[in-house]
Amino acid sequence: MANRKSCCGVSLLEAMLAVLFIVMTTVCVVLITLMVSWKTHTGLTPPPQNHSYLIGVGRADCTGPPAEVPLMGYANPQQSAAGIHTRLYSRAFIIDDGRRRVVFVTAEVGMISQRLRLEVLSALQVKFGDVYRQENVVLSGTHTHSGPGGYFQFTLFMISSKGYIRSSIQPLVNGIVKSIDIAHRNMKPGRIYRNRGELDDSTLNRSPHSYMNNPEDERHRYKSNTDKQVMVLKFTDLDGDGIAVLSWFSVHAVSMNYTNRMVSSDNMGYASYLLEQDKNPGDLPGQGGFVAGFSSSNLGDVSPNIRGPHCVNTGLSCDYLNSSCPVGGTKMCQAFGPGNDMFDSTRIIGHNIYRKAKELYASAVEEVTGFLHFAHEWVNMTDVTVQINSSHTVSTCKPALGHSFAAGTTDGGGDLNFTQGAVEGDPFWDGIRDALLGEPSNKTQECHHPKPILFNTGSVQMNWPLPWHPQIVDVQIITIGSVAVVAVPGEMTTMAGRRLRDAVQQELQSEGTFEDTEVVIAGLSNVYTHYITTYEEYQVQRYEGASTLYGPHTLSAYVHKFRGLARAIAQDKVSELPVGPQPPLFTKNLFNLLPQAPADKTPVNSSFGDVLQQVDPVYRQGDVVSITFIAGNPRHSGDIRDKTFVTVEIYDNRTDSWEVVHTDASWETRFHWLKGSNGRSNTTVEWFIPPSAPGGCYRIKHFGHYKQRTGLRPVIKPYEGTSAVFRVSTSFYYQ
């Protein structure tokens, strides 16, 4: 018997059911589509797509010796490390599209030096073979001016940071490699979303006179003399759970000024700190899986000290053209704000950057798709010729710094009588220069014109004991789908960065394959070559122009070289790019001017870790707890990564134990090292009790090491000190 339903005829009821089914299905599809579209537009769950990458992220401590090593940035000989404000971290992001792999690292250092990069690359080679190499690894520094120096091989930088200091570069190399290693071991399928927005009230152009020298029609294309753009990449796993954020913003990390002696990650570091604390609730700083990297960009002329420069002795405005004061000269003209002191300013600027990045992260829905590319070339920057129009070619020069380099900036002025904006030499200083180093040749002076040369660092005389400045630099671009990261080996000013971004974008889009590409500049990358201004900015020779190392056409040379990389990527001809001349890794003539730390001593009848000044019995939220211990030199603690000199602990009644609530990486703690005479020293620990601190019993501990001479060999021994127990009271009463 045939099944009735197998016949071709359809009953009325079946037809009605079928119509109903079709209508219902259509309604459902429309509803689902609408819901997905709504969710997309409201920034909730983005629609699933077929594009995914392998993504790995990692963070590692790279804090170096927090004592006696000069802090890198202000070139101020008095500013050597003496404690920890916040720790320094390296954050690594690895992305793989199944064909290629790229690595972006943002490290909390003043800048990546060529020496640091070469040592990192060689450590990566030992660990991973050819997986990570100069072509696909970008290293960028956040430009904090409060990190230990001593990780350079060129003479000028060695002089300003007491030489090449093994104990200073080692934690940086190991920290950066460890962050890459953690990312490498964490790789899993995931997605990337991009977003961008603008952040106001956080930056100020510190050389408006230079900026105004750019062509008027060019300036009119932009509404501000600094780039306000915050660019954010959001990384998620395939379930849509966030694993990391990587962000770029143009601002000098100089909210902490040259009077600071503590190692600090400054405003950009504080933004990372806040976002990671948000996303890793319950974890101590530097711990937890979520990684938030904040990278530098074209910050050359961008200050965070937004109250602007004033003469600190008179309160009057500084001279607009040369940023000096009638009494006291350059040194008296300083920029401050927006906070009451440098800690407050760091907090405000860091919080602004964090808040904007967090908002952009939460609303990021534009998925980044497409293949990865990378292009790299080593370039001898002293010898680049560029055809700028049909009849005119220009060339770069051997490196030299101008007089205004010695004037410094309104974020930290020089001590001598130099001013910014010098287009003429000074007979006194020129005389000293000529007597010590020989007069620069006419050819060199002409090449750098109108820069009056102060340090002719490309000369034969300034090649001792090692070259004073690099000549071979990395130019590098990585692209992640529709995002291109341009690794710039120095500090580009706002307008220089805009010109470079436009040029790279134009080349990438020339073949039609890179439509809608977002180009970002990663500053202070790979090798440090000071500043890069536009040709027009160079003419007025403020600090940034005087520090544009390879002459007035430095930017044209970079634009030319980066165009070449971008074109090679667009045309898929990267393999045809020349490798270029390999930079040197000096093994001889590196010098170290930092004397060995002497053996530590205590006053009679006392021991290391003894309390010299005790805590009070009771505090309130908002108070500052302060305690002083007899200490050893923090340099004797050796490799301090992943350790702490300080803990703040709360007593837990239920478990009858002490729980660590803060370390020396915490924003709330400050660890000061106070060097005395004859090997004696103290540490003072401060805890700024946050309003969120629960009431209860607390103690503060300090950990360190001291060196003793017993017999012939010095011995390093650990010690610790503990405060009396004190109470934080949340009750509020009037007296």
Site for Zn ion in 84-103 (CB under 5 A): none
Distances (CA, A) of 23 to 19, 27, 260, 687, 724: 6, 6, 71, 67, 76
Minimum CB–partner distance for residue 156 and Zn ion (Å): 15
- Give the span between the Cα atoms of 74 and 413, in whole angstroms: 8
Residue whose CB is less far from Zn ion, 110 or 679: 110
Residue whose CB is less far from Zn ion, 170 or 303: 303
Residue 529, both tokens: 């070559």
Q: Are the C-beta atoms of 712 and 604 separated by less than 8 Å?
A: no
Coil, helix or strand for 626? strand
Residue 248, both tokens: 């770029």
Minimum CB–partner distance for residue 252 and Zn ion (Å): 5
Number of residues counted as binding Zn ion (CB under 5 A): 1
Residue whose CB is less far from Zn ion, 405 or 687: 405
Biggest CA-to-CA distance, the chain: 117
Minimum CB–partner distance for residue 586 and Zn ion (Å): 25
Catalytic: 482? Answer: no
Phi, psi (5° rounding) for residue 125? Answer: -60, -45
Preceding omega of 583 cis (within 30 degrees of 0): no
Minimum CB–partner distance for residue 306 and Zn ion (Å): 16
Residue whose CB is less far from Zn ion, 52 or 207: 207
Binding flags for Zn ion, 312-331, as an x/- string (CB under 5 A): --------------------
Residue 653, both tokens: 């009644």
Residue whose CB is less far from Zn ion, 367 or 491: 491
Half-sphere exposure of 330 (CA within 13 A, CB side): 24
Minimum CB–partner distance for residue 231 and Zn ion (Å): 20
Report strand pairing: 101-107 vs 89-96. antiparallel
Residue whose CB is less far from Zn ion, 377 or 491: 491
Minimum CB–partner distance for residue 416 and Zn ion (Å): 19
Minimum CB–partner distance for residue 362 and Zn ion (Å): 31
Q: Are the C-beta atoms of 183 and 217 separated by less than 8 Å?
A: no
Residue 555, both tokens: 């930017």
* Strand (E) or helix (H) holding 716: strand 713-722
Binding flags for Zn ion, 460-499, as an x/- string (CB under 5 A): -------------------------------x--------
> Nearest Cα to 625, choosing from 682, 673, 669?
669
Minimum CB–partner distance for residue 582 and Zn ion (Å): 27
Catalytic residue among 250, 303, 404, 525: 303
Coil, helix or strand for 161? coil
Residue whose CB is less far from Zn ion, 110 or 609: 110
Minimum CB–partner distance for residue 146 and Zn ion (Å): 13
Classify residue 59 by burial, with Cβ atoms within 10 Å: 0-12, 13-18, 19+. buried
Residue whose CB is less far from Zn ion, 254 or 569: 254
Distances (CA, A) of 274 to 271, 279, 286, 445, 659: 5, 9, 11, 48, 22
Rounded to 10°, the helix 114-128/166-185 angle is: 50
Residue whose CB is less far from Zn ion, 350 or 490: 490
Report strand pairing: 696-710 vs 401-402. unpaired
DSSP secondary structure of 459-486? SSGGGSSS-SS-SEEEEEEEEETTEEEE
Residue whose CB is less far from Zn ion, 396 or 547: 547
- Closest-CB residue for Zn ion? 491
- Give the span between the Cα atoms of 147 and 72, in whole angstroms: 6
Q: Are the C-beta atoms of 313 and 190 separated by less than 8 Å?
A: no
Minimum CB–partner distance for residue 528 and Zn ion (Å): 10
Binding flags for Zn ion, 682-711, as an x/- string (CB under 5 A): ------------------------------
Residues 6+ apart with CB under 8 A from 474: 117, 134, 376, 377, 378, 379, 487, 489, 525, 526, 527, 583
Residues 6+ apart with CB under 8 A from 260: 71, 79, 85, 146, 342
Query: Which residues are annotated as catalytic?
Result: 303
- Contact positions vs Zn ion (CB under 5 A): 491
